[in-house]
Amino acid sequence: KNIIDSNIFIVKWIKGEKFPTVKQLEDFTHKVHVPFGYMFLQKPPEENIPLPFFRTANNQATNKVSLNVFHTIQIIQDRQNWLTEYLQELDFPNLKFVGKFNVNDSYNTIVDDIRNTLKLEVNWATKHNTWEEALDFITHQIEDAGIIVTYNGIVGTNTRRPIDVNECRGFVLVDKKAPFLFVNAADAKAAQIFTLIHELAHVWLGESAGFDNQNLIPADDPIEKLCDQVAAEFLVPQTYLIEKWKTTQDFKYLSRIFKVSQIVVARRALDLKLINKTDFLNFYNQYIQEVKDKKDSQDSGGNFYFTARKRVSLRFASFVNNAVKENKLLYREAYKLTNLKGDTYNKFVTEYLFR
């Protein structure tokens, strides 16, 4: 009823039949998540995102996204702006691998450099029991190299504002001192590691971007395709997969060997033309549906603070905590940067920040 009444009021405002009160305007801006001051502008401000957003379906980039994705990019950009300035004050050097390669370089060369930088052997994943453990490990290695990694499926901590996987699987904001990778935590965990390494390749190419990567397939863009090749080779090396393929085509068995999900193995098999696109899409859709059904049947609860570690990034939170202790950052600014306030923030940094 309240929604219906609000819509009637808005129609009357637009027609000039009725004027809103200040309280009504405040309530309206809270519902649509825009600043109160926007209501007094002569025309809406131009709000463009600072990176191209690639769509698989129409094979082109856009600078227009939904409000939830837009505000998420703003949150990450605010964190990056603060951290970059803070690292400059501390005389942190630029990261040598940012923008080290370009679209004309071989994906194998880029993969080798990423492995060397992250101090990984080709078979690094086989040392972990599950692909979930492999994802946690590679996230840790990426952060140790100087890159901030955040996982979140909502805007900040607002559970009423989900980030649609069909629109945004992730994005990367490249910077010489503090690159930020954002992975949509609402996506199936089975697909997140592919998104993560795809974004990592963007850092090595020095190109910020966002993407939906529908069905784990990139947009028809040279850089997107190269990042896709890097992710595929990094996670499932061609030589090893072809060798194993001779004895088995069981994705479940192969996923245990390479410590990636079955859909990542299937995606690599497609890349190497071991299966066709129709077979891949059929398997992908079936697998994602099974994952969704399993997730829906499980308890959706969890430890807020463990979730916050991934939403904020341990590396980023450590810098914020240090700045507060050094009196270089006010608590209220720390609250805003981490989306954690008061006792929640204090408990997080004292009990959950350090491994």
Mean pLDDT value of segment 330-335: 96
Q: What is the pLDDT of residue 55?
A: 87
pTM of the entire predicted model: 0.87
Shortest CA distance to 101 belongs to which of 91, 110, 92, 93? 110
Model confidence at 347, pLDDT cuts 50, 70, 90, reads very high
Shortest CA distance to 235 belongs to which of 192, 203, 273? 192
Distance CA 80, CA 221 (A): 26
Q: Where are the beta strands (DSSP E) in 142-212?
A: 148-152, 154-155, 158-162, 170-173, 180-184, 209-211
Q: What is the pLDDT of residue 289?
A: 87
Q: What is the pLDDT of residue 301?
A: 56
Mean pLDDT value of segment 17-44: 68
Averaged pLDDT score across all residues of the chain:
89
Q: What is the pLDDT of residue 48?
A: 74
Give residue for tokens 């370009």: 102
Q: What is the pLDDT of residue 4?
A: 42
Q: What is the pLDDT of residue 231?
A: 96
Beta pairing, strands 170-173 & 209-211: antiparallel
How much of the chain exceeds pLDDT 70, in percent?
88
H/E element holding 60? strand 60-62
Mean pLDDT value of segment 246-257: 93
Between 100 and 46, residue with greater pLDDT: 100
Mean pLDDT value of segment 203-224: 93
Between 289 and 270, residue with greater pLDDT: 270
Note the Cα 1 to chain centre separation in Å.
37
Whether pLDDT at 184 is above 70: yes
Q: What is the pLDDT of residue 170?
A: 96
Radius of gyration of the chain (CA): 22
> Would you say 312 and 339 are in contact if contact means Cβ atoms under 8 Å apart?
yes
Shortest CA distance to 103 belongs to which of 193, 194, 176, 209? 209
Three-state DSSP at 107 gives helix
The token duo for 40 is 């007094």
Model confidence at 31, pLDDT cuts 50, 70, 90, reads low
Mean pLDDT value of segment 102-130: 94
Between 60 and 124, residue with greater pLDDT: 124
Phi, psi of 334 (to 5 degrees): -65, -40
Residue 77 DSSP symbol: H
Q: What is the pLDDT of residue 57?
A: 78
Distance CA 289, CA 161 (A): 23
Whether pLDDT at 42 is above 90: no
Q: What is the pLDDT of residue 342?
A: 93
Whether pLDDT at 5 is above 80: no
Three-state DSSP at 144 gives helix
Rounded (10°) angle between helices 314-325 and 304-312:
90
Whether pLDDT at 1 is above 50: no
